């Protein structure tokens, strides 16, 4: 006799439990995270359904979608049953979700508080495994002209060149800028180097009549505002 199958293939599930059919019948919100990922990867392995494989991938990041979004193609292909094509599908879907947040119509174009700046910058700076430095360029009404990445570094820091920052600000005819960088560790406390570069940039901005209005440190736990804390 043939050996009994170790699991039911998706095609053998009740139609109401198959991810694609479930989405069509009940809507996308009815699906679990694992079922949504199963739709992306399409199939599992000989001994594991697409849903079970998806559950295993999620379990590796403690079912945290933020941590899942940090995985790259080589990380995902370490799972048996996930080749380049399936890994690319997962990474692409998560990247689209991240970009969607960056185009949210509810995001204000005028910055009136540190939280406004945080909401604007977060889609650019979340899910990063290395430190990056960004600036918001503002006009006289504190409306956003543009958002620019200045540098990309390592896990513990990134190099910030004042000449690059103010060259970008001058080219954009910005009247004010807001500095920002992320801490992949999640620690929001500014370092001595963070405080020193903030003071240096504020002084340089004053001489060029470009106001440095704030400096935000951003992590998954929230943000730290130099202006709110009265240290700039």
Which tens digit of pLDDT belongs to each residue from 20-44? 888 998 888 899 999 999 999 999 8
Least trusted range by pLDDT, from 50-64, 131-145, 154-168: 154-168
3-state DSSP: the chain helix, strand, coil percent, rounded to 5?
45, 15, 40
Cα–Cα distance measured from residue 219 to residue 221, given in angstroms and rounded to the nearest whole number: 5
Q: Can you name the CATH fold of 114-225?
A: Cytidine Deaminase; domain 2 (3.40.140)
Task: Label residues 214-227 b or e (16+ Cβ within 10 Å = b).
Answer: bbbbbbbeebbbbb
pLDDT attached to residue 7: 55
* pLDDT for res 18: 84
pLDDT digits (tens, 9 = 90+) for 55-107: 999 999 999 998 999 999 999 999 999 999 999 999 999 998 888 766 655 44
> pLDDT band at 132, cuts 50/70/90?
very high
pLDDT class of 3 with cuts at 50, 70, 90: very low
Q: Which residues, including other chains, have CB under 8 Å from residue 126's CB and lie 6 or more apart?
A: 66, 69, 98, 218, 220
The residue ranking higher by pLDDT, 152 or 15, is: 152
Mean pLDDT value of segment 125-131: 85
- What pLDDT is stored for residue 109 in this prediction? 77
Q: What percent of the chain is modeled with pLDDT above 90?
A: 64
Best-predicted range by mean pLDDT (19-28, 118-127, 130-139, 182-191): 130-139
Give the pLDDT band of residue 17 (cuts 50, 70, 90): low
Closest residue by Cα to residue 38 from 25, 64, 65, 20: 20
Confidence of residue 127 (pLDDT cuts 50, 70, 90): confident
Per DSSP bridges, beta strands 211-219 and 144-152 are: unpaired
């Amino acid at each position: 006799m043939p050996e009994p199958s170790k699991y039911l293939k998706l095609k053998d599930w009740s139609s109401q439990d198959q991810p694609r059919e479930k989405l069509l019948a009940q809507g996308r919100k009815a699906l679990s995270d694992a079922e949504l990922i199963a739709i992306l990867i399409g199939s599992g392995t000989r001994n594991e359904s697409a849903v079970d494989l998806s559950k295993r991938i999620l379990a590796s990041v403690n079912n945290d979608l933020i941590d899942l979004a940090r995985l790259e193609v080589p990380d995902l292909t370490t799972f048996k049953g996930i080749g380049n094509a399936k890994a690319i599908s997962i990474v692409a879907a998560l990247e689209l979700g991240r970009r969607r947040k960056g185009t949210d119509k509810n995001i204000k174009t005028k910055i009136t508080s540190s939280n406004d700046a945080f909401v604007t910058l977060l889609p650019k700076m979340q899910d990063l495994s290395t430190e990056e430095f960004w600036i918001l360029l503002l006009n006289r009404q504190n409306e956003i002209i543009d958002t620019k990445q200045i540098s990309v570094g390592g896990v513990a820091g990134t190099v910030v060149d004042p000449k690059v920052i103010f060259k970008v600000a001058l080219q954009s005819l910005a009247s004010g800028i807001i500095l920002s960088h992320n801490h992949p560790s999640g620690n929001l406390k500014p370092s001595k180097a963070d405080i020193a570069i903030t003071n240096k940039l504020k002084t340089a901005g004053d001489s060029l009549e470009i106001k440095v209005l704030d400096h935000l440190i951003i992590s998954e736990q929230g943000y730290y505002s130099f202006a709110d804390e009265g240290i700039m």
